[in-house]
Amino acid sequence: MNKEELMRRAIVLSEKSVKTGGGPFGAVIAKDGVVVAEASNSVTLDFDPTAHAEVNAIRTACNRLRTFDLEGCEIYCSCEPCPMCLGAIYWAHIDRIYYANDRKAAAGIGFDDDFIYQEIGRDLAGRHRPIECLLPEEGKKAFDMWRQKGDKTEY
């Protein structure tokens, strides 16, 4: 499939999601033009704020391919990925991102994507949710253990 066909598939998923009670978002992951996984937003259906289309598609693709590294894949999103999804896309090492609607359009229909992008750019003290470091010395032990572990699987 070409880029436009893959994006249309993501858009159709977003429309079906609206009709079935999910959010208006769809995502398709492809490798060499072949669909590896596709999903829609199921936040309200699954009672899971992380069940965005992109995250759902990443989970399916990784499970299907039996890997946590989706290098060589592309993702087609009906909307510009929110910061959480963008982070997941980077963690999964997906090569390229395509989107139809942007974050301003998502904000225009009541979604927080643009607000969260702005929030990330603020100093910690200026954020809308309090955030503070607590027990860093105790928390460091797991990092030291990881650093010293000889048989770890890097990711």
> Which residue type is seen at 65?
L
In the set 5, 38, 54, 119, the catalytic residue is 54
Asked if residue 98 lies in contact with residue 8, where contact means CB atoms within 8 angstroms, the answer is no
Helix, strand or coil, per DSSP, at residue 30? strand
Is residue 38 annotated as part of the catalytic site, yes or no? no
Crossing angle of helices 83-91 and 113-120, in 10° steps, is 70
Quickly tell me which residue has 């643009």 as its tokens: 114
> Is the four-CA dihedral 67, 90, 39, 1 of positive or negative sign?
negative
Give yes or no for a contact between 27 and 57, defined as CB atoms under 8 angstroms apart.
yes
Is residue 40 classed as helix, strand or coil in its secondary structure? strand
Active site amino acids: 54
